Amino acid sequence: MAEKRQDSGFTVTDRRLFTGDGELRSDVREEQETPKPAIPSAAQPAATETNSQAAKSVTPFPADENASAEQIMPPPPTAAEQNAQADAYRKSSQDLDSRVELSGRSAKEFEMTFERFLASLYMTAMLQLGLMHQQGEQPRLDIIGARQTIDTLTLLAEKTKGNLTPTEQTFLQNSLYEVRMAYVEVTNTLSRPPQPGAATGTSGR
Protein backbone atom coordinates (compact mmCIF):
# COMPACT_ATOMS: atom_id res chain seq x y z
CA MET A 1 0.00 0.00 0.00
CA ALA A 2 1.44 3.39 -0.89
CA GLU A 3 2.24 5.69 1.96
CA LYS A 4 0.91 8.82 0.31
CA ARG A 5 -1.75 9.25 -2.32
CA GLN A 6 -2.78 12.43 -4.04
CA ASP A 7 -6.56 12.54 -4.48
CA SER A 8 -8.68 15.63 -5.17
CA GLY A 9 -6.09 17.95 -3.67
CA PHE A 10 -5.80 16.05 -0.35
CA THR A 11 -2.76 14.17 0.88
CA VAL A 12 -3.48 10.90 2.70
CA THR A 13 -0.70 9.68 4.97
CA ASP A 14 -0.48 6.12 6.29
CA ARG A 15 -0.06 6.49 10.10
CA ARG A 16 -0.03 2.77 10.91
CA LEU A 17 3.00 1.57 12.86
CA PHE A 18 3.01 -1.98 11.45
CA THR A 19 2.72 -3.51 8.01
CA GLY A 20 0.10 -6.06 7.04
CA ASP A 21 2.55 -8.83 8.06
CA GLY A 22 2.84 -7.45 11.59
CA GLU A 23 6.32 -5.97 11.16
CA LEU A 24 7.33 -2.46 12.15
CA ARG A 25 7.33 -0.20 9.14
CA SER A 26 10.78 0.89 8.00
CA ASP A 27 9.97 4.60 7.84
CA VAL A 28 8.61 4.54 11.41
CA ARG A 29 11.79 2.78 12.57
CA GLU A 30 13.91 5.48 10.94
CA GLU A 31 11.93 8.26 12.61
CA GLN A 32 12.36 6.63 16.01
CA GLU A 33 16.08 6.04 15.57
CA THR A 34 16.99 9.44 14.11
CA PRO A 35 14.73 12.14 15.51
CA LYS A 36 15.26 15.52 13.91
CA PRO A 37 16.40 18.20 16.36
CA ALA A 38 14.30 21.33 16.47
CA ILE A 39 16.09 24.37 15.07
CA PRO A 40 15.19 27.46 17.08
CA SER A 41 14.51 30.59 15.13
CA ALA A 42 15.95 33.97 15.98
CA ALA A 43 12.62 35.14 17.33
CA GLN A 44 12.20 32.27 19.77
CA PRO A 45 14.55 33.49 22.55
CA ALA A 46 12.71 36.82 22.81
CA ALA A 47 9.33 35.06 22.84
CA THR A 48 10.53 32.67 25.53
CA GLU A 49 11.74 35.54 27.68
CA THR A 50 8.47 37.41 27.25
CA ASN A 51 6.44 34.34 28.16
CA SER A 52 8.60 33.79 31.22
CA GLN A 53 8.06 37.34 32.40
CA ALA A 54 4.31 37.06 31.82
CA ALA A 55 4.19 33.81 33.77
CA LYS A 56 5.98 35.42 36.69
CA SER A 57 3.60 38.37 36.77
CA VAL A 58 0.41 36.33 36.35
CA THR A 59 1.30 33.24 38.38
CA PRO A 60 2.91 34.15 41.74
CA PHE A 61 2.78 30.55 42.99
CA PRO A 62 5.81 28.32 42.40
CA ALA A 63 5.51 24.81 41.03
CA ASP A 64 7.01 23.37 44.21
CA GLU A 65 4.19 22.54 46.63
CA ASN A 66 6.65 22.51 49.54
CA ALA A 67 7.72 26.13 48.99
CA SER A 68 7.54 28.42 52.00
CA ALA A 69 5.04 31.24 52.39
CA GLU A 70 7.77 33.80 51.65
CA GLN A 71 8.40 32.16 48.28
CA ILE A 72 4.70 31.94 47.42
CA MET A 73 3.77 35.53 48.28
CA PRO A 74 4.25 38.08 45.48
CA PRO A 75 6.30 41.21 46.27
CA PRO A 76 4.31 43.95 48.03
CA PRO A 77 3.37 47.16 46.21
CA THR A 78 5.81 50.02 46.47
CA ALA A 79 5.28 52.90 48.89
CA ALA A 80 4.29 55.17 46.01
CA GLU A 81 1.71 52.66 44.78
CA GLN A 82 0.25 52.25 48.25
CA ASN A 83 0.02 56.02 48.79
CA ALA A 84 -1.65 56.55 45.42
CA GLN A 85 -4.17 53.80 46.10
CA ALA A 86 -4.86 55.12 49.61
CA ASP A 87 -5.51 58.60 48.23
CA ALA A 88 -7.89 57.23 45.59
CA TYR A 89 -9.75 55.19 48.21
CA ARG A 90 -9.99 58.20 50.53
CA LYS A 91 -11.44 60.36 47.76
CA SER A 92 -14.04 57.71 46.85
CA SER A 93 -15.02 57.39 50.51
CA GLN A 94 -15.45 61.15 50.84
CA ASP A 95 -17.69 61.21 47.76
CA LEU A 96 -19.81 58.41 49.26
CA ASP A 97 -20.03 60.22 52.61
CA SER A 98 -21.25 63.34 50.81
CA ARG A 99 -24.05 61.40 49.12
CA VAL A 100 -25.01 59.80 52.45
CA GLU A 101 -25.19 63.20 54.13
CA LEU A 102 -27.38 64.53 51.32
CA SER A 103 -29.82 61.65 51.94
CA GLY A 104 -30.37 62.91 55.49
CA ARG A 105 -28.30 60.30 57.31
CA SER A 106 -24.99 60.66 59.10
CA ALA A 107 -21.90 59.07 57.59
CA LYS A 108 -20.81 58.19 61.13
CA GLU A 109 -23.44 55.43 61.12
CA PHE A 110 -21.37 53.49 58.58
CA GLU A 111 -17.94 54.24 60.01
CA MET A 112 -16.10 51.03 60.91
CA THR A 113 -14.62 50.92 64.39
CA PHE A 114 -12.88 48.09 66.20
CA GLU A 115 -15.90 47.57 68.44
CA ARG A 116 -18.22 47.31 65.43
CA PHE A 117 -15.86 44.84 63.80
CA LEU A 118 -15.87 42.68 66.94
CA ALA A 119 -19.64 42.97 67.19
CA SER A 120 -20.02 41.71 63.61
CA LEU A 121 -17.89 38.64 64.44
CA TYR A 122 -19.87 38.07 67.64
CA MET A 123 -23.18 38.22 65.76
CA THR A 124 -21.83 35.91 63.04
CA ALA A 125 -20.79 33.30 65.62
CA MET A 126 -24.19 33.42 67.31
CA LEU A 127 -25.95 33.03 63.96
CA GLN A 128 -23.75 30.06 63.10
CA LEU A 129 -24.51 28.45 66.46
CA GLY A 130 -28.23 28.78 65.76
CA LEU A 131 -28.77 30.96 68.85
CA MET A 132 -29.78 33.97 66.75
CA HIS A 133 -31.42 34.25 63.35
CA GLN A 134 -32.51 36.83 60.85
CA GLN A 135 -36.06 38.07 61.13
CA GLY A 136 -38.40 35.78 59.21
CA GLU A 137 -35.85 32.98 58.91
CA GLN A 138 -35.31 29.74 60.78
CA PRO A 139 -32.17 29.26 62.90
CA ARG A 140 -29.35 27.53 61.04
CA LEU A 141 -26.53 25.60 62.65
CA ASP A 142 -23.03 25.82 61.18
CA ILE A 143 -20.78 24.41 63.90
CA ILE A 144 -17.63 24.43 61.72
CA GLY A 145 -18.21 28.03 60.68
CA ALA A 146 -18.85 29.02 64.30
CA ARG A 147 -15.55 27.47 65.35
CA GLN A 148 -13.70 29.37 62.63
CA THR A 149 -15.30 32.65 63.68
CA ILE A 150 -14.39 32.04 67.33
CA ASP A 151 -10.84 31.17 66.26
CA THR A 152 -10.76 34.47 64.37
CA LEU A 153 -11.64 36.35 67.56
CA THR A 154 -8.97 34.37 69.40
CA LEU A 155 -6.42 35.28 66.74
CA LEU A 156 -7.36 38.94 67.04
CA ALA A 157 -6.89 38.79 70.80
CA GLU A 158 -3.40 37.34 70.35
CA LYS A 159 -2.28 39.66 67.55
CA THR A 160 -3.60 42.88 69.13
CA LYS A 161 -2.31 42.20 72.63
CA GLY A 162 -0.97 45.43 74.14
CA ASN A 163 -2.37 47.61 71.31
CA LEU A 164 -5.98 48.01 72.45
CA THR A 165 -7.66 50.58 74.63
CA PRO A 166 -9.18 49.32 77.90
CA THR A 167 -12.65 49.58 76.36
CA GLU A 168 -11.63 47.60 73.27
CA GLN A 169 -9.87 44.98 75.38
CA THR A 170 -12.90 44.50 77.62
CA PHE A 171 -15.23 44.27 74.63
CA LEU A 172 -13.04 41.65 73.01
CA GLN A 173 -12.69 39.52 76.15
CA ASN A 174 -16.42 39.63 76.85
CA SER A 175 -17.23 38.67 73.26
CA LEU A 176 -14.78 35.77 73.35
CA TYR A 177 -16.10 34.51 76.67
CA GLU A 178 -19.73 34.52 75.53
CA VAL A 179 -19.18 32.86 72.15
CA ARG A 180 -16.91 30.20 73.64
CA MET A 181 -19.46 29.42 76.33
CA ALA A 182 -22.25 29.25 73.73
CA TYR A 183 -20.12 26.96 71.55
CA VAL A 184 -19.48 24.54 74.42
CA GLU A 185 -23.18 24.45 75.33
CA VAL A 186 -24.26 23.77 71.74
CA THR A 187 -21.64 21.07 71.13
CA ASN A 188 -22.48 19.38 74.45
CA THR A 189 -26.15 19.35 73.49
CA LEU A 190 -25.36 17.81 70.13
CA SER A 191 -23.24 15.08 71.71
CA ARG A 192 -25.92 14.02 74.22
CA PRO A 193 -27.97 10.96 73.28
CA PRO A 194 -31.64 11.68 72.58
CA GLN A 195 -33.88 11.44 75.60
CA PRO A 196 -36.65 8.79 75.67
CA GLY A 197 -39.89 10.19 74.29
CA ALA A 198 -38.18 13.23 72.76
CA ALA A 199 -39.37 12.27 69.26
CA THR A 200 -43.05 12.15 70.29
CA GLY A 201 -42.90 14.98 72.80
CA THR A 202 -43.98 12.73 75.71
CA SER A 203 -41.91 11.54 78.64
CA GLY A 204 -41.23 7.83 79.00
CA ARG A 205 -42.77 5.79 81.79
Q: What is the pLDDT of residues 113-167, one digit of tens each?
A: 999 999 999 999 999 999 988 788 888 899 999 999 999 999 999 999 999 999 9
CB-based contacts of 187, cutoff 8 Å, min separation 6: 143
What pLDDT, on the 0 to 100 scale, is given for residue 179?
96
pLDDT digits (tens, 9 = 90+) for 39-55: 444 444 444 444 444 44
What pLDDT, on the 0 to 100 scale, is given for residue 42?
46
d(CA 155, CA 160): 8
CB of 146 within 8 A of CB of 125?
A: yes
What pLDDT, on the 0 to 100 scale, is given for residue 48?
46
What pLDDT, on the 0 to 100 scale, is given for residue 121?
96
Model confidence at 204, in pLDDT bands (50, 70, 90)?
Answer: very low
Predicted TM-score (pTM) of this structure: 0.56
Range 23-30 contact pairs with CB under 8 angstroms and sequence separation of 24 or more: 27/3
Looking at the chain, the whole-number percentage of residues with pLDDT higher than 90 is 40
Mean pLDDT of the chain: 76
4, amino acid identity: K
CB of 147 within 8 A of CB of 123?
A: no
What pLDDT, on the 0 to 100 scale, is given for residue 136?
81
Does the pLDDT at position 62 exceed 60?
A: no
